[in-house]
Amino acid sequence: MAPKDEKHDTTERTGVSRRTFLKSTGVGSLAVGVVGAGEAEAQTVRAVGPGDIPITLTVNGKRVELRIEPRVTLLDAIRQRADMTGNKRGCDRGACGACTMIVDGRTVYACSTLAIDVQGKQIRTVEGLSTGNTLHPVQQAFCDVDALMCGFCTPGFIMATVALLEKNPRPTEEQVNRGLDGNICRCGTFVRIKEAALTAKVVARG
Amino acid sequence: MAKQRGGGAGRPQAPAAAPAAPAANPELVRKYAWPEQPAIVGTSVKRLDGPDKVTGRAKYTFDISRPGMIYGRIVRSPHPHARIVAIDLSEAQRAPGVRAALEHKQAGAQVMYHGDAVAAVAADTEERAIDAARLVKVQYEVLPHLANVEQAMDPDASQVFQGGNVRQGQTQESGDLAAGFTKATETVEATYSTHVITHVCMESHAVVCEWDGDKLTAWVSTQAVHGSAQQFANGLRIPQTNVRVVTQHMGGGFGSKSQIGAEGILCARLAQAAKVPVKLTLDRKEEHLDTGNRPSATAHVKAGVGADGMLTAFDAESWGTGGAGAGSNFPLPYIYQFPNRKRVHKDVYINAGQQRPMRAPGHPQGCFLTEILMDELADRVRMDPVEFRIKNVPADAPNAKWKTYLPEAAQLFGWEKRHPTGDAARGPIKTGFGCSVHQWGGGGRGSQARCEIMADGSVVMKCGTQDIGTGTRTIVAMVTAETLGLPLSAVKAEIGDTLYPFSGGSGGSTTAASVSPAIRLAAGQALENLFAKVAPTLGVDPSTLVATSGRIQVKDNPSKGLVWKDACKLLSTEPIAADAQWQPGLSGSGTSGVQFTEVKVDVETGIVRVERILAIQDCGLVVDKLTAESQVYGGIIGSLNFALFEDRILDRVTGQMVNPNMEWYLLAGMSDVPKIEVHLKNQPERGVIGIGEPPTVSTASAIANAVRNATGATIRSLPLTPQKVLDAIEQQKAGGTL
């Protein structure tokens, strides 16, 4: 398996990678054990939840207001609370890429990103790409070359491809490999996904 | 669907009992034989649900949301083998948001593997359901378990399974083995094996159940909508007519989704208890543990070959495990003709999740075990592997064309550049070529369909089949439009719902071959009914009419006719609804193919990179060229995963799976996928056959043979991990191979 450099690279820099996510949740109790009582108290004051809290997300340019427990991921908040089910949950731990969204221009694994951490950021999902009945060029390319079979990984692959092409509209084959290595397709559609990524006409986006 | 226990050597599963169907009509079959010059069938048509899937509009079971819906969660055994002493649901029932909690197994019952379902809860959010499941208290009496095949085959092992841990199969024998070995100038004796892998559907198994009185509607991620309805009816003891199953889109099954499983029944019972709709989706770990796997296969083989390169004798003892009480059979020897042969197989039971059919059940295992041996035997008689195979495969037949495909593929691939076993080039990167052959059955069976034509000219084809990603929805529309002489956009395909006529499960590469004839005949019958309405207006006999290019017209006088819409207006208040079912004559069975691979092996790290793959594959009449090719690409990549990456690893002590996720259960990513060249053979004279499974059979064997050709070391077991490659090279240097 090739390392999923591109995805880890990009998510790390946005501060919402799976690793950061684990740091902020799973290791919490350990942290309490090593800090002084005063610091622990200070943390308690800052803590939210565990019950529902109000949050506001900006999804595809629209404000979405939700009441959720702080532990809810970006993916579950959008899928189960906002009923935007385009992006999928495959592994729920940042390994398959079916949940890939674009946050402030970079791909993230939404299954491993807390919803409360991306308030105030621009979140893009697969629902936000097409305009009316006109498909985004990446979506059109996927349809044209049959770059999908069961289609469950497709929204994640499309978001990863869009993010790649907006940065680099004319990637080499090697750059496509690296850009899409964070996504898994079990039906085995890779040959045609690559073809779609190499032929889609996307305009660079700052 | 019947639970397939034996692997069945790749036979498709028996369909659920079909309701009484329209009578056979050979005359209709003759009239609606596949056209010699089709307008749509055989072309490359983009899948019709592509736009829904790429925009996220397509609703999978995971995406279904119903008013008031809550979430279910299953409590599973942490032990590979235990007796349940007591189950206490009370604390879970009091947890926040919990609406239902129930037992799946009762006190006294046994759990047989890590992940066996014990109880279930439902709560208003998924997070709270997970919390509540942790509060269910199950007291277990831990029992002795078998964590692997070696432990289970030990005569001193605890008898974990009733009737023994090993089930001895029948001996298959033909010819005279002793005489065969006397004729042999060379023999190879070795043990070959393949490992257990899981299906890893991207959409894990999922169910949404909603009751309306005593009627159940279930959205199921399934390969068999009608089969699921039957299983709900049996499991819940309600009439099948009270069950509706819907599957508009599903995220991959590969054989694991022909059963509703514990999750199906539990979801229905939770919804009944909570009196609201319940969604139950398995997480990735549950998916690995409890939704099936491809059984392991091992064979100790002795085989002989004459100086002329003809195989003489094959003697094998084989075994494998399909988990807790499930079979592991596979075809052996695979395809090649041994005049004298004997094989005895036994199923070994261990405490792990039961196998389910997985894309070409049995064949990838039998193919690997045989194909590595073939290259070893070819080397013994100093013969080129392609030439050796051509000598020993059966004679050419429509369903067996290896003698034709092997030389053709060799030429296309540049096989003449292959070096003898062991790349003599300097440096750590060694190159190798390998090849392999395969076969599959496929074929049609009792699908039914209904074609409706309305007075406004609109057309709908209804069929209770399902599209599991193969493109079934698209071929239903293609065959309808072809038959009615209409453009694709003028017909609607309605599938994935038990409200539509019976169709079998999608397994055994049977869907296209079952559905296409039913669609063709239903559309043909509807057309005959329309001709009968139109003929009097035109003043001709109905038998003189044809439907073509959006018109109903006289065959020998095309100007005499009506455009489709005007013809349909004659239906007035009596629209057409014509039923038909699959009949012999429009589908065939039996496919063959060959695959060639080139690999690079780094003999310092043991890492194998597949550089390119070439496949020749037939499947009878190609319906949609574009989606048929996609099936071949996908099958090849699946087999590459089998060869190099995926492996269900059980802890040897605890029997627990140590990699039940997608970061340590490895699957190929974009960088791992080589150049793949697909040569699809169209055989219109054979009718529709099906292509989902055959291409995934032989890639792994071809890769393993290429690794052997590159390194000179024989690896007789999968997967080809870097460690195993290094070990084999070391062994080979020491004068032997693994």
Which residue of chain A has the CA closest to B250? A150
Q: Are B668 and A190 within 8 A, CB to CB?
A: yes
- Nearest chain B alpha carbon to A190: B670
Q: What pTM was estimated for this model as a whole?
A: 0.93
Domain boundary among A127, A147, A175: A127
Residue A53 lies in a domain: yes
Distance, in Å, from the CA atom of B493 to the CA atom of B565, rounded to the nearest integer, reads 19
- Does any CB of chain B come closer than 8 Å to the CB of residue A198? no
Asked whether the predicted pLDDT for residue A23 surpasses 80, the reply is no
What CATH number corresponds to the domain at position A58?
Answer: 3.10.20.30
Answer yes or no: is pLDDT of A22 > 60: no
Contacts A94 to B, Cβ<8 Å: 663
Give the model's pLDDT for residue B733. Answer: 86
Residue A26: the pLDDT is: 36
Give residue for tokens 């427990």.
Answer: A69
Residue B152's H or E segment, with its range, is helix B149-153
Query: Any chain B CB within 8 A of the CB of A55?
Result: no
Mean pLDDT, residues B326-338: 97
Separation of alpha carbons A62 and A74, rounded Å: 15
Q: ipTM, 2 decimals? A: 0.95
Question: Do both A109 and A83 map to the same domain?
Answer: yes
- pLDDT at res. A44: 53
Residue B165 predicted with pLDDT over 50: yes
* Domain contains A104: yes
Q: Are strands B429-440 and B297-305 parallel, antiparallel or unpaired?
A: unpaired
Q: What is the pLDDT of residue A203?
A: 86
Secondary structure of residue B278 in the 3-state scheme: strand
Instruction: Please give the structure tokens belonging to residue B616.
Output: 């020749």
Buried b (16+ CB within 10 A) or exposed e, A10-32: bbeebebbbebbeeeeeeeeeee
Peptide bond before residue B719 is cis, with ω within 30 degrees of 0: yes
Give mean pLDDT, residues A121-132. Answer: 96
Residue A73 touches chain B, beta carbons under 8 Å: no
Do residues A122 and A177 share a domain?
no
Residues of chain B neighbouring A187 (CB-CB closer than 8 A):
202, 252, 469, 630, 634
Out of B55, B125, B202, the one facing A98 most closely (by C-beta) is B202
pLDDT reading at A50 higher than 90 = no
**Residue numbers in A near B127 (CB within 8 A):** 69, 71-72, 76
DSSP state of B502: B
Residues B102, B120: contact at Cβ < 8 Å?
yes
- Residue of B256, B473, B629, B671 best to disrupt the A interface, most CBs of A under 10 A: B671
Q: Do A11 and A101 sit in the same domain of this protein?
A: yes
User: Is the same domain home to A110 and A145?
Assistant: no
Q: In B, which residues are within 8 Å of A90 by CB distance?
A: 202-204, 284, 662
What are the pLDDT digits (tens) for B423-445? 999 999 999 999 999 999 988 98
Bigger pLDDT: A45 or B333? B333
In whole angstroms, give the CA distance from residue A203 to residue B539.
Answer: 60
pLDDT higher than threshold 70 for residue A3: no
Closest chain B C-alpha to A38 CA, distance in angstroms: 30
Of B50, B251, B627, the CB nearest to A152: B251
Of the partner residues A96, A143, A192, the one whose CB lies closest to the CB of residue B54: A143
Q: Looking at the 3D structure of chain A, how many domains does it have?
A: 2
Q: What is the pLDDT confidence band of residue B559, given thresholds at 50, 70 and 90? A: very high
In a domain, A132, yes or no: no
Residues A122 and A146 in one domain: no
The answer to whether residue A206 sits within a structural domain is: no
pLDDT tops 50 at residue B507: yes
**How many angstroms separate the CA of residue B57 from the nearest CA in chain A?**
6
- Contact flag A151-B58 (C-beta cutoff 8 Å): yes
Q: What is the CATH number of the domain that holds A160?
A: 1.10.150.120
- pLDDT of B480 reads 98
Q: Among all residues of chain B, which has the CA nearest to that of A90?
A: B202
User: Could you identify the residue written with the tokens 């596949």?
Assistant: B34
Residue B278's identity, in one-letter code, is V
Q: What is the pLDDT of residues B170-215, one digit of tens each?
A: 899 999 999 999 999 999 999 999 999 999 999 999 999 999 999 9
Residues of B within 8 A of A79 (CB-CB) are: 63
Give the number of other Cβ atoms within 10 Å of residue B720's Cβ. 25
The pLDDT assigned to B491 comes to 98
Does the pLDDT of residue B522 top 80, yes or no?
A: yes
B634 vs A126, A181, A187: nearest CB: A187
Q: What is the pLDDT of residue B736?
A: 64
Mean pLDDT computed over B503-528: 96
Other Cβ atoms less than 10 A from the Cβ of B465: the count is: 34
CB B423 within 8 A of CB B711: yes
Residues A76 and A112 in one domain: yes
Residue A143 domain flag: yes
Q: What is the pLDDT of residues B653-678, one digit of tens each?
A: 999 999 999 999 999 999 999 999 99
What letter would DSSP give residue A114? B
- Same structural domain for residues A90 and A177? no
Residue from the list A92, A151, A180 with its beta carbon closest to the beta carbon of B53: A151
Q: Which amino acid is at B379?
A: D
Give the residue from A103, A127, A151 where a domain finishes. A127
A154 vs B contacts (CB less than 8 Å): 53-54
Same domain membership, residue A41 and residue A105: yes
- pLDDT score, position B24: 78
Query: Domains of chain B by range and CATH?
Result: 26-43+444-581 (3.30.365.10), 61-76+82-143+200-290 (3.30.365.10), 293-442+588-733 (3.30.365.10)
- The verdict on A79 and A174 lying in the same domain is no
Sign of CA dihedral B698, B703, B706, B707: negative
Phi-psi region of B261 (alpha: psi -120 to 50; beta: other; left: phi over 0): left
* Cβ pair A126, B55 in contact under 8 A: yes
Are residues B60 and B204 in contact, defined by beta-carbon separation less than 8 angstroms? no
Q: Quick one: tokens of B531?
A: 């001709």
Query: Average pLDDT of chain B?
Result: 95
Q: How confident is the model at residue B21 (pLDDT cuts 50, 70, 90)?
A: low
User: In the prediction, which pLDDT does A31 show?
Assistant: 37
Chains A, B: CB contacts under 8 A, how many?
186
Q: Of A73, A100, A127, which residue sits at a domain end?
A: A127
The parent domain of residue A157 ranges over 137-199
Q: What CA–CA distance (Å, rounded) separates B358 from B674?
A: 23
Report if residue A54 sits inside a domain. yes
Strand order in the sheet with B82-88: B110-111, B82-88, B137-142
Q: Residue A92 — left, alpha, or beta (φ > 0 → left; ψ -120 to 50 → alpha)? A: left
Which chain B residues are closer than 8 Å to A176 by Cβ? 670
Distance, CA of A195 to CA of A190 (rounded, Å): 9
Q: What is the 3-state secondary structure (H, E, C) of B672-718?
A: HCCEEEEEEECCHHHCECCCCCHHHCCHHHHHHHHHHHHHCCCCCEC
CA distance A195 to B632: 16
CB contact under 8 A, B673 and A190: yes
Residue of B nearest to A193 (CA): B670
User: Does residue B625 sit at the A interface (CB-CB below 8 Å)?
Assistant: no
Tell me if A42 is assigned to some domain. yes
B637 interaction partners in chain A (CB closer than 8 Å): 188, 190-191
Instruction: Note the pLDDT tens digit of each residue in B69-118.
Output: 999 999 999 999 999 999 999 999 999 999 999 999 999 999 999 999 99
Torsion of CA A108, A112, A118, A121, to 10 degrees: 10
Q: Are B92 and B133 in contact (CB under 8 A)?
A: yes
Is A175 contained in some domain?
A: yes
Same domain, A155 and A53: no
CA B268 vs. chain centroid, Å, equals 26
Please name the residue of chain B whose CA is at the shortest distance from the CA of residue A150: B469
Do B554 and B560 form a contact (C-beta atoms < 8 A)? yes
Q: Tell whether A25 and A122 lie within a shared domain.
A: yes
Cross-strand partners of B325: none
Ordered DSSP codes for B547-614: EETTEEEETTEEEEEEEHHHHHHTTTT--EEEEEE--TTSB---EEEEEEEEEEEETTT--EEEEEEE
- Same domain? A110 vs A48: yes
Span between the terminal Cα atoms of chain B, in Å: 41
